[in-house]
Chain A
């Protein structure tokens, strides 16, 4: 019975992810086909003396003259075989690049994610507890200001203050310059990670905090908190027993739903800090008409966001008995 339930659950998600990926690949392929990107020009690059005939031959060889549907099927066919093509920019297989860049990005995104999640939740709880009093008022204004600051701008400000002005952090990159890769220490990596991670967490920190505050205020004004107080529970006990439990679910939603923002934000943050992650690679692929890499990253990011939402759904089922029951009855 239980096994059957898990099987059904897994099957449902597999079906969803497959349809999602098909839809994303079709749409992004159409967009790329419609764009003025010329892969031949990109491939030939700055090499002089490539005649028009030679260009036509390359185009013919790549099948660029075939109808779009045929081209899509050819691309999708090789993708299904695990061949995402070769990046025109890096001259290496797309999958290798995604794997390499994603590891760098993952460290950055997860740090920012944990940072904004934990601190945002804590700040939100503090604001909710002091609802209407001065700590709440001050923190709330700070959060609203933080919400309105664009990521790339705060990144530049951080660089100016902490790197240029105070010299606490390096100017960018993920490792120090001129040091062989095997000699880079973990501390050096963390040192390079802090500023971009702070920048990336800045936006969602305020969002999480404000959202948590709103939710906690709702909960503390609810009937069941009133009744808990009527049963003699102290303020702290009410917060611990009923408050956290009831704001956890929306916080989880926010946190895992923010995977897409996180990815979008990493494009900006990585560019400002010249951090060699997936975000930087995505914008480089776009700027340099690296079609295979761009499509590969698009598919990968869809998978990444999907994973975030799926995790949120699973955690829902664990936290909320009503949703657990709902899953079981599906």
Chain B
């Protein structure tokens, strides 16, 4: 039985209108045909190298893309198609973002005022105190300004904004870098707890290892699209359980798995290859790979590769 996903992204493409050479305008497609869903009580980790469109996905879901971006495809919340207006209504209430760094905090405002919002009531203030305690943030931290925070404190404060918002979906954009292992595990544990309470977490991360252990499913991004979505278990098992050549390569590139790099690099959004975006680096490339590749179900997971079995 499949649960109803709380958030589903179907065939999402995002492109930016930019000035090319001189006054020529060009569309830069940064996310192409991305498909993904999250169910209640589930953590979906998004893994992929820098520039694969992870953060943009979060911004697209929240309707935070700049004016020169155009979005096609569908974003559904509890089965309801979201327009920009509805995204604006939902953000902060149903969908919360945990941003990347301290630069997302107003440098001239105490963190307490930013965490609790404009007019906090008694209940919010109490909840904020409890959450800070849970994150080992000392009393009085709410009176500090962002520049007075250490990297780890800032990150815990950013996470606490999402916890406090009581949102159903939490989009965590790299919540762990800058934290030591213990603190990172602690932060991820909190996401786990939130998920166990029935919330959904989309965990964008570079700490793939940790993500494999904490998440339920993992989505691998490459050049702005999902190449594989599979149970986290498969990623713990290794290349044999995985489906896409890029996922396998990613696994093998981890330090404990041999630290093996593959040649080439992720294509720039301006000159994407035809068909499979990974094909230029793929050892199994055939002529068929230059055609449109759909996501197909293979061994319980989804993969965007015609050679997967």
Contact = CB atoms under 8 A, between A and B. Distances in A.
Interface stretch (B22-30, B103-111, B267-275): B103-111
Nearest to B147: A322
A227 B104 contact: yes
Given A223-B99, A246-B106, A246-B108, A230 B64 contact: yes
Interface string B50-84: 00000000010010101100000000000000000
Interface of A: 132, 221-224, 226-233, 237, 241-242, 245-246, 249, 319-322, 325
Q: Range of interface residues on chain B?
A: 20 to 34
B104 A226 contact: yes
Contacts of B145: 321-322
Nearest to B59: A226
A319 B145 CA distance: 13
B103 A233 contact: no
13 contacts: A132-B67, A223-B104, A226-B104, A227-B97, A231-B92, A231-B96, A231-B97, A232-B92, A241-B106, A249-B108, A319-B108, A321-B145, A321-B147
A245 B99 contact: no
A319 B92 CA distance: 28
Interface in B157-182: 161, 165
Nearest to B66: A221
A230 B103 contact: no
A246 B107 contact: yes
Contact of A242 (B67, B92, B103, B109): B109
Contacts of B114: 228
B106 A224 contact: yes
Contacts of A224: 103-107
Contact of B108 (A132, A231, A233, A320): A320
Contacts of A232: 91-93, 165
B108 A230 contact: no
Nearest to B90: A232
A206 to B, nearest CB: 26
A246 to B, nearest CB: 6
A245 B106 contact: yes
Contacts of A321: 108, 145, 147
B118 interface: yes
Nearest to B93: A232
Contacts of A319: 108
Given A227-B105, A237-B118, 16 more contacts: A132-B67, A223-B104, A224-B105, A224-B106, A226-B59, A226-B99, A227-B97, A227-B104, A230-B64, A231-B96, A241-B106, A241-B109, A241-B118, A245-B109, A246-B108, A321-B108
A237 B119 CA distance: 11
Contacts of A320: 108
Interface of B: 59, 62, 64, 66-67, 91-93, 96-97, 99, 101, 103-109, 114, 117-118, 145, 147-148, 161, 165
Contacts of A246: 106-108
Contacts of B106: 224, 228, 241-242, 245-246
A242 B118 CA distance: 11
When A and B form their complex, which 10 residue pairs have the shortest distance between CB atoms, in order from nearest?
Answer: A232-B92, A227-B104, A230-B97, A231-B92, A223-B103, A321-B145, A223-B104, A224-B106, A245-B108, A242-B106
A320 B145 CA distance: 10
A217 to B, nearest CB: 12
A189 to B, nearest CB: 40
B96 A230 contact: yes
Question: Most chain-A Cβ atoms within 10 A of its Cβ — which of B92, B104, B106, B148?
Answer: B106
A216 to B, nearest CB: 14
Contacts of A230: 62, 64, 91-92, 96-97, 99
B271 to A, nearest CB: 27
A226 B55 CA distance: 13
A232 B116 CA distance: 12
Nearest to B101: A223
Contact of A231 (B67, B91, B101, B109): B91
Contacts of B117: 231, 233
A233 B118 contact: yes
Contacts of B147: 321-322, 325
Nearest to A224: B106
Contacts of A227: 97, 99, 104-105
B90 to A, nearest CB: 8
B87 to A, nearest CB: 10
Contacts of B105: 224, 227
B115 to A, nearest CB: 9
Nearest to B62: A230
A188 B96 CA distance: 61
A321 B97 CA distance: 26
Contacts of A249: 108
A227 B148 CA distance: 19
A227 B62 CA distance: 10
A287 B105 CA distance: 56
Nearest to B65: A226
Question: Most chain-B Cβ atoms within 10 A of its Cβ — which of A231, A241, A245?
Answer: A231
